[in-house]
Amino acid sequence: MDKSFLESLEYLGSQTSLKPKTGIVIGTGLGDLVNHIDIESEIEYENIPHFPISTVEGHHGKLIFGFLNQRPVVVMNGRFHYYEGYSMQEVTYPIRIMKLLGIKEIFLSNAAGGVNPDFEIGDLMLIHDHIDFFPENPLRGANLENFGPRFPDMSQAYDQDLIDLALSEAKKMDLLLHQGVYLGNPGPSFETPAEYIHYRTIGADTIGMSTVPEVIVARHMKLPVCALSVITNLAIPGRFDKNSHLDVQKAAAKAQKNLGNLLISILGKLQ
Ligand code: HPA
């Protein structure tokens, strides 16, 4: 295995002895979940050898170890986006580290634009499939044989058992939880009206600038994935206004309570 992975792990091992069972990536404006964690240690990305450094507004850039609803977790508060200039390997480096830390499944969250006319701002959508519009695949280049195969299967990228669990927990909570397809775009510009129509036409329900590279790398390692979009803006013909990062953050801030409650109850059911 590449020395860099081992050096990151060695540093993390010197900071915490917690053995996380679940990994969580917190999306733009969704950081409130952190307030529900019994934190054991918080580690700034910039102190972890070989970790990229997060730059985007609304991201804090910390790896948090602790317990969420009794479950030992490692949480990325702030992720790395391709649009910040990182390579696809850098964007997904922490996912490999979380797997090496021993997690059994990973939960990914994102702020996303809704193109399904049944959606409203603030709604949650469980991702059951995706469409990849990033210009490069994070697995391009020499295959990391220790992690997985050259040509990983993507026929069921989003874990059906976790989807079923999320749906049943949402139902118990009386929480509206859509299901749909997430389209990953590199950004950082938002889409034009014609592009939103195009993406809706080819099967997207939400559009965002993250998650897809992380899912590919997680599936390369056979890590079960559950991913959720928070709808922060609508891009539906006739209901489409200007987009801004600030509005995305504000809408995420309002919706994050539901996302947090859902994750907390799902984690309570994991073995
Ligand atoms: N497009 C791309 N990324 C996004 C959007 C969007 O409309 N909303 C939040 N992230």
Q: Are 170 and 262 in contact (CB under 8 A)?
A: yes
Whether 191 is in the pocket of ligand 1, judged by its Cβ within 6 Å, is yes
pLDDT tens digit sequence for 33-65 = 999 999 999 999 989 999 986 565 545 589 999
Q: Are 25 and 79 in contact (CB under 8 A)?
A: yes
Whether 255 is in the pocket of ligand 1, judged by its Cβ within 6 Å, is no
Question: How many angstroms does the Cα of residue 190 sit away from the middle of ligand 1?
Answer: 6
pLDDT for residue 6: 95
Q: Are 219 and 152 in contact (CB under 8 A)?
A: yes
Q: Whose CA is nearest to atom 7 of ligand 1?
A: 113
Q: Whose CA is nearest to atom 9 of ligand 1?
A: 112
Whether 251 is in the pocket of ligand 1, judged by its Cβ within 6 Å, is no
pLDDT for residue 254: 78
pLDDT tens digit sequence for 161-212 = 999 999 999 999 999 999 999 999 999 999 999 999 999 999 999 999 999 9
Among 118, 127, 133, 120, smallest CA distance to 232 is for 120
Q: How confident is the model at residue 115 (pLDDT cuts 50, 70, 90)?
A: very high
Whole domain around residue 179: which residue ranges?
A: 3-267
For residues 238 and 187, the model is more confident at 187
Query: How far is it, in rounded angstroms, from Cα 68 to Cα 268?
Result: 8
pLDDT for residue 157: 98
Q: Are 230 and 26 in contact (CB under 8 A)?
A: no
Question: How many angstroms does the Cα of residue 232 sit away from the middle of ligand 1?
Answer: 8
DSSP string for 141-157: SS--TTT--SS---TT-
Total domains, the chain: 1
Handedness of CA 208, 67, 97, 12 (dihedral sign): positive
pLDDT for residue 58: 46
How many Cβ atoms from other residues are within 10 Å of residue 110's Cβ?
A: 28
| Six-digit token string for 120 | 């409203």
How many Cβ atoms from other residues are within 10 Å of residue 235's Cβ?
A: 22
Q: Does pLDDT of 7 surpass 90?
A: yes
Element (H, E) at 230: strand 225-234
Q: Whose CA is nearest to atom 5 of ligand 1?
A: 113
Whether 249 is in the pocket of ligand 1, judged by its Cβ within 6 Å, is no
Whether 235 is in the pocket of ligand 1, judged by its Cβ within 6 Å, is yes
pTM: 0.94
Residue 149 CB-density burial (10 A; 0-12 exposed, 13-18 middle, 19+ buried) = exposed
Query: Coil, strand or helix: which one is 114?
Result: strand
| Six-digit token string for 70 | 């009794």
Whether 113 is in the pocket of ligand 1, judged by its Cβ within 6 Å, is yes
Q: How confident is the model at residue 99 (pLDDT cuts 50, 70, 90)?
A: very high
- 188: domain CATH number? 3.40.50.1580
Query: Coil, strand or helix: which one is 178?
Result: strand
| Six-digit token string for 244 | 């801004």
Atom of ligand 1 nearest to the CA of 233: 8
Angle (CA) 57 136 31, round 5°: 25
Query: How far is it, in rounded angstroms, from Cα 173 to Cα 99?
Result: 30
Whether 234 is in the pocket of ligand 1, judged by its Cβ within 6 Å, is no
Q: Whose CA is nearest to atom 2 of ligand 1?
A: 208
